[in-house]
Amino acid sequence: MSIIKVKRIYDKPEILDGLRILVDRLWPRGVRHSTANVDIWLKNVGPSHELRKWFAHDPAKWKEFKQRYKEELKDNPAFMKLIDLSRANDTVTLLYASRDEAHNQALVLRDELIKALAKAPQRSLEHVYKKII
């Protein structure tokens, strides 16, 4: 199984990060596209605009946010793409911009991704590569 890491996009990139995937719906402030060291931006895997606004990084809403976000991921094609990319790479680092390292969508994604990788059957990656290229 792949190693799934979580890291702020503002932290220094490392060779051991593997495939670096930005999982925010909005591009992070102050980060240039040309120097971001992002391999793939899967913006549609991030929480919906409505959920993001409701949560507003309020730790008191964290438990409810996780439940709502998991519901959004159930039929999300971008999450399926993330599963496929994770299967195809030894190490994947999910990048996020939030200052709160304990309450952000990348942590929920990591947990759900690990569960999905443990139980989901191997799928063909051809459809993933066609969309990336």
pLDDT tens-digit series, residues 75-125: 899 999 999 999 999 999 999 999 999 999 999 999 999 999 998 555 555
Global confidence as pTM: 0.87
Summarised one tens digit per residue, pLDDT across range 47-69 is 999 999 999 999 999 999 999 99
Report the pLDDT averaged over residues 17-37.
Answer: 95
pLDDT at 54: 97
Distance in angstroms (rounded) separating the CA atoms of residues 52 and 48: 6
Q: In what order do the strands lie in the sheet with 19-22?
A: 3-8, 91-96, 19-22, 40-41
**3-state SS assignment for residue 97:** coil
pLDDT at 133: 44
> pLDDT band at residue 127, thresholds of 50, 70 and 90?
low
Distance in angstroms (rounded) separating the CA atoms of residues 117 and 106: 16
Which amino acid would we find at residue 42?
L
> pLDDT band at residue 2, thresholds of 50, 70 and 90?
confident
Given a cut of 50, whether residue 11 has pLDDT beyond it is: yes
Distance in angstroms (rounded) separating the CA atoms of residues 61 and 105: 13
- Token pair listed for 103: 């309450």
**With DSSP H G I counted as helix, E B as strand and the rest as coil, what are the percentages for the chain, rounded to 5?**
50, 15, 40
